[in-house]
Structure 1
Amino acid sequence: MDQLMLQAEKAKDQPQEVTCSVDYVNQKFHRESSSDEEPCLVAKAEDLELGLERVSSQQANKDLSHSLFEFGHNFEDVENWLSFEQPTKTSLTQVLRYMIENHLKTNVQINIDKVNFNCHSVVLQVYSKFFSELEPMPLVITLPMEKVSQKTFLVIYKWMLSDEPKLERKDIIPVFVAASYLRIEALLQQCWQYFENPKCFNEDTACLLYVEARGDAALDIVRNLMLTRICKFMLIFVASRDFLDVPVTHLSFLLSSDDICVNTEIEILFIITRWLGHDWKGRQSHALNLISCIRFHLMPLWYLLCVRRTEEHKLLQKLLNHPSVAAKINQAISQHTSTMYEEQLAGQKMDHMNILKSAQPRKWLLDNECPYFHHISCPCTNSIEFKQFEFYLSILQKKPHNYWQQIEYLDVNNPKMCDCMNDTPPKA
């Protein structure tokens, strides 16, 4: 033992090749083999074969019979072996597809509200980061019903199995929510192809999607995009009950847009009044911020001069008499009168339509159903009231769903004149 330890100490400083300890045994002569024979240390496969040949040669001296292999016959050498016709085999792709599509040998269950879907984990992991990051993969996975409904999961799993998947319009919102939760990038991209296409979502369809998409934070970015598509459909939307639930940030965005279509800037004031009046106690803190969206300089001068005396709606009266709102009205009146005075000094005829062509114009409508339509210079604009606006909204509610498409735009270069233009202007 001491000698072995001494040899081990000497070998520490010398690099050694990793080997295997091998006993060569011939089954036929195993009983006659010496028990004193030491095992061989083999480092390479070639050394292993040399050892086998050595053992075979040793045993050949003890046996006069030889195998065909020892005679030199090579069992692996058959002429033209690979040229022979081979039996056909179903491709692995076809077999796997058949098994997956027929739900054979499924290895995971997706539980959604007491319903189990038998699935192949590899299919889920290929498309979904949610599933691919599960380590280890459970046998049963429970998904929240509010994020992934049973019907939606069925649609998504079929999407995964399809080579050319299509999404139906009725499924796009729940599918987008579920794909966001499950982090299915390819499916989210397909949804965005629809969202970003104005041919799919614009005006009324964009508004419908906006309403449908409320209630989930994952859809906020979609709702923001749809807001930019609501232009000519704006007043139809205002006439609906859904408008009353619009968040203040979204309402502010709409009212600040140059693209929304109205008959007169006065309607912006009325729209704010309608929204605030739905929950005045909860929304009164937003009043001044919303009032800042109004472009008072685009309102008719006669209306600005008279509205604080003639308007009977109590909430609107409260807004109009607020000091900051009154200051905006007075500033707009001053802007109008200054322009009129400058044009008179220059010997020019006052063109009130220049007001609608000024900075930050809206897109102006010419709806024949609007009961308070007047030319902007018409003195009768002083009689426009909130109750007329409410009546107009009731008219819009009864119109065909495509009525908004029939409304014409106002040509500011050749505006329509109202019948009362020849009347004597009332006293302001």
Structure 2
Amino acid sequence: MSESKAQDVIEQVEDCTLPADNKLAIGKLDVRTLKKITESCRECPENAYTPLEPRTLDEMGFIFDESIKCHLMCNQENLKVAIAKVVEDRMYTDVQVKVHGHIFDCHLAVLQVSTEYFKQFSSTNLIVLNVPEVTKLGFEKAYEWMTKQDASPPREGIVDLYLAARFMQMPPLINQLWYCFENIEFFREGEAFKLYLQAVPYETSTLQSLLLTRISRFFLSAVATVEYLKLKPEQVYDMLRTSIISVNSEMEVFMSAFRWMMYDWEARKAHTELLMRAVRFNLMPAWYILSLKTKQTLPELKELLDNPVVQSAINVGLSYTVTQHFMNSDSGLQEPLQMQQAQQREWIIDDIAPHHHMYKCPYWQYLNYELFNIYLEQVITAGPHFYKTLKAYKPSNLMPCCQAVLQNSKYISDI
């Protein structure tokens, strides 16, 4: 209120001329009070004031505890299930992997967590994999292993899976696969040979060596197959030199090598010395070795046996067999003559083959290349379970006609 206005109010109050509504407004204010108001107005000139400086909450002392004393919890199990569903169903994928022309929609984070190979890629839309080791099936099964808790490798594609895991650097998966490979109940006999054939085109020497020890009683069935005839010479050599192959006699090993060479004689006879190193002539009976030194009617067999290296191996085998036959196992000449027991094969008996009879049995027939092929025809006719009918070599498993002969035989070379 200005001084002039205040003075007017005072005068009106004193003269009792103040409007009735204003009198009610000032209430019980007396003249003295109004004079004080007037004096205050004189002391504070119009338009003169002190500005108020703004203050923040912190400047005014209002500092709050930043933590909120309540618990916000997500259900972790539900979260895991939801994330697993997104990954497994390939929802919201962010990268495509192209494997030999086939497109896979994937999560890059899953690939990077599960492999070392994909860690080299940053955010990208497409990754191309055109290496021989990673097939469409191999990558598909590897990604299933990454995304599914209950993924199990199929027998048909386990080599593809192994090669893909090895290329993409997946140690946990490789360890699990080796557990399968090393378990003799998973891969043995025919399955081992089939898996071996799948592994031979690749650099998998350790796996191949392991599988060769599992072929065992399936060996003769394998020799009857086209797949055996198409093996490389080094692969045939590795197969024939394995002690675990099941044969009735070392002559079958010799004939198996010759059968592979006869499939393409002109091209394969150059591998004669390699394959004959796998044959243990010192495990053959002396009479059979002598038959190899006689004149041969089959031209290819004659050419093979005329090879000087083969002739030397036959002579050493004959000397060993004859000497071992007449030398006691405790003779003092064993060590000087290096006549320690030769490493044996896994000897079996098949009573449907004439040459499986003992040499002195009246039903015995000489094993030549023609008879060997006839025998393999019998193996093929017997079907895929033929190898299960083979018996371990022991007296109780011999045919009745050979039982008497065995009683008078001291050495396996008499078979």
Do they fold alike, i.e. is TM over 0.5?
yes
Name the stretch that deviates more: 125-134 or 298-307: 298-307
> 1:33-72 maps to which residues of 2 (within 5 A)?
62-63=51-52, 72=61
Distance 1:225 1:375 in 2: 33
Quote the residue 1:372 is aligned against: 355
Identity %: 27
Query: Residues 312, 118 of structure 1: CA spacing in aligned structure 2 closer, same or farther, 3 A cutoff?
Result: same
Deviation, structure 1 residue 271: 1.0
Which residue of the partner structure matches residue 378 of structure 2?
A: 395
TM-score (norm 2): 0.71
Give the 3 Å change call, closer, same or farther, for CA 186–69 of structure 1 in structure 2: closer
Which letter does structure 2 place at the counterpart of 1:361?
Answer: Q
Which residue in 2 is equivalent to 1:383? Answer: 366
Q: Determine the structure 1 residue equivalent to 2:69.
A: 82
1:168 to 147, 154, 160: 154
1:256-295 CA distance string (max 9 Å, x none) = 2332221111112211111111222332222123223322
- 1:157 corresponding residue in structure 2: 143
Tell me which residue corresponds to 1:230: 215
Aligned-partner Cα distance in 2 for 1:323–1:68: 106
Q: Deviations over 1:164-186 (max 9, x none)?
A: 43222222122112222222222
Residues 1:196 and 2:179 are matched in the alignment: no
Secondary structure, counterpart of 1:383 in structure 2: coil
Q: What aligned pairs does 1:12-27 form with structure 2 within 5 A after superposition?
A: none
> Aligned ranges for residues 277-292 of structure 1 at < 5 Å?
277-292=262-277
Structure-2 change in CA distance of 1:247 and 1:132 (3 Å): same
Residue 35 of structure 1 is matched in structure 2 by none
Aligned partner of residue 382 in structure 2, secondary structure = coil
Note the C-alpha offset of 1:194.
Answer: 0.9
Which of the pair has more CA radius of gyration?
A: 2
Question: Which letter does structure 2 place at the counterpart of 1:389?
Answer: F
After TM superposition, the structure 1 stretch with the greater mean CA deviation from structure 2, 324-333 or 175-184, is 324-333
Task: Find the counterpart in structure 1 of residue 283 from structure 2.
Answer: 298
Give the structure 2 partner of residue 177 of structure 1. 163
Between the aligned partners of 2:189 and 2:303, the Cα distance in structure 1 is 33
Provide closer, same or farther for how the CA distance between residues 89 and 342 of structure 1 changes in structure 2, counting only shifts above 3 A.
Answer: closer
Q: Which digits, 9 at most, give the CA deviation of each residue in 1:23-78, with x for residues without a partner?
A: xxxxxxxxxxxxxxxxxxxxxxxxxxxxxxxxxxxxxx74077777666555x369
Structure 2 unaligned regions, length at least 5:
1-49, 332-339, 406-415
Q: Deviation string for 1:357-387 (max 9, x for gaps)?
A: 9422222211011122232456987833211
Structure 2 distance, partners of 1:274, 1:124, is 48
**8 Å CA contact 2:138, 2:163 repeated in 1:** no
SS of the residue corresponding to residue 230 of structure 1 reads helix
How big is the shift at 1:402? 2.0
Query: In the alignment, what sits opposite 2:36?
Result: none
Partner of 2:23 in structure 1? Answer: none
Please tell me the residue identity of whatever aligns with 1:407: L
Distance 1:301 1:182, change over 3 A: same
Structure 1 residues 248-263: aligned runs within 5 Å: 248-263=233-248
Give CA deviations for 1:218-263 in whole Å, capped at 9, x if unaligned.
x333222211212221111111111112232232233223322211
Number of the residue aligned with 2:116: 129
Corresponding residue number in structure 2 for 1:25? none
| More divergent stretch after superposition (153-162 vs 234-243) | 153-162
CA contact (8 A) 1:269 1:294 kept: yes
Q: Structure 1: give runs of 5+ residues left out of the alignment.
A: 1-60, 347-356, 422-428
What is the CA-CA distance between 1:148 and the residue it aligns to? 3.2
Equivalent position amino acid for 2:239 in 1: L
1:312/1:177 CA distance change after superposition, 3 Å? same
Contact 1:310 1:383 in 2 (8 A): no
377 and 258 in structure 1: CA distance in 2 versus 1, 3 angstrom threshold:
farther
Equivalent position to 1:187, from 163, 166, 173? 173
Taking only aligned residues, the RMSD between alpha carbons, in angstroms, comes to 3.5
Q: Structure 1: how far apart are the matches of 2:104 and 2:318?
A: 68
